[in-house]
Chain A
């Protein structure tokens, strides 16, 4: 077992990181180790496909952080949405009547979000999903909740 793996498992045992974070770190190590183990073109190709592999799930987690006001009574959320469901859902937006889209756009504008729901097209969704692979949103709330949005 490599030192990095051992360190991650120790951090998990000490509750310094969550199981999700440990999994993601171990996955990152796996990707990193493909190159040196498999030398040559094959190894390079494997490494590239691992890094560029399409995201399968969108994850949203809310966990109480170390500085949480009341960790025992904190809310915990763990949502995993398959990308295929998001694709199907976006295709379903074609069924929404134009009046409802106008209402949705107006509601977004009222909240200060200037976004046209009609601009979501199934043709552009693949590009968007690919781009999601590089995205991670980390937010720490005033109460001490850690909110994470990422793909895996």
Chain B
């Protein structure tokens, strides 16, 4: 089973700044769920209204695709180190 991302670590380092952040994504899930539940009637109405134009289906598909993309972020790692700066993003 594919687990959703739980933590996000961002690290930026250069001559002037040194910044590191651990973002607990698992704490944001309930918040996102609440927002989605609140907005779902509006989304549903928009999808029904736009269904005959073709945009409704597209909107529904994009919602699903965005959700799948967010779910698949676990394991992503980008680490770029230059002579004077370093940027690192990892999703665990």
Contact = CB atoms under 8 A, between A and B. Distances in A.
A95 B74 contact: no
Given A79-B78, A82-B76, A88 B68 contact: yes
Interface string B11-22: 000000000000
Contacts of B72: 82, 84-85, 87-88
Given A91-B68, A95-B58, A95-B62, A82 B80 contact: no
A94 interface: yes
B81 interface: yes
B30 interface: no
The SS class assigned to the B binding surface is mixed
A95 B65 CA distance: 9
Contacts, number: 58
B61 interface: yes
Interface stretch (A39-47, A69-77, A125-133, A135-143): A69-77
Contacts of B73: 82, 85
Interface residues of A, number: 22
Interface of B: 2, 58, 61-62, 65-66, 68-69, 71-83
Nearest to B79: A78
6 contacts: A78-B79, A81-B76, A85-B69, A85-B76, A88-B65, A92-B69
Nearest to A86: B72
A54 to B, nearest CB: 12
A80 B72 CA distance: 13
A89 B68 CA distance: 9
A68 interface: no
Contact of B65 (A56, A79, A81, A91): A91
A78 B58 CA distance: 35
B62 A72 contact: no
